[in-house]
Amino acid sequence: MVLYATMEPCYTVFHKETETFSNIWTNYSEDYETFCSRYKKDIERYGNVKQFIGKPNIPENSFTVSMIPWTTFDAFNLNTPNFKYLVPIFTIGKFVEYNRCFYLPLAVQVHHAVCDGFHVCRFINDIQSLINTI
């Protein structure tokens, strides 16, 4: 078993001119402003790198955040044969406004060998609680 004190988000950057993506990751910080500053620096430095791994040396303690900002969705599933990737994958879509409320689709794909629905629900409820404080 491996347990990390922190996890680093790994996400894609879209290149409009080639319609391709590059992977970038950012060091996590509990302080939101610090994390945002790190994110902005990574985008400035690696955002225009036109290869699959935009920022090298993706850490072992990273997790995937996939973004589909062009559309909203009710469900999303990645079909991967022989799926052995044990870290959760988070997919976020385009937000919509309805009755003066904002809705942001979030799909969480987990490997059942390491996570149950109970834990996913706890995580989603925690996110909702944090959002409700904004």
User: How do residues 82-123 score in pLDDT, each as one tens digit?
Assistant: 667 778 888 999 999 999 988 999 999 888 888 888 999 999
On the CB side of 22, CA atoms within 13 Å amount to 18
Contact 62, 7 (CB under 8 A): yes
- Per-residue pLDDT band for 76 (boundaries 50, 70, 90) equals confident
CB-CB contact of 57 with 65 (8 Å): no
Return the active site residues. 112
Q: CB–CB of 46/24 below 8 Å?
A: yes
Measured from the Cβ of residue 65, the count of other Cβ atoms closer than 10 Å reads 16
Q: Token pair for residue 90?
A: 């988070």
Query: How confident is the model over 63-72, as pLDDT tens digits?
Result: 888 888 899 9
Q: What is the pTM of this model?
A: 0.76
* DSSP string of 88-125, one letter each residue: -EEEEE--EEETTEEE--EEEE--TTT--HHHHHHHHH
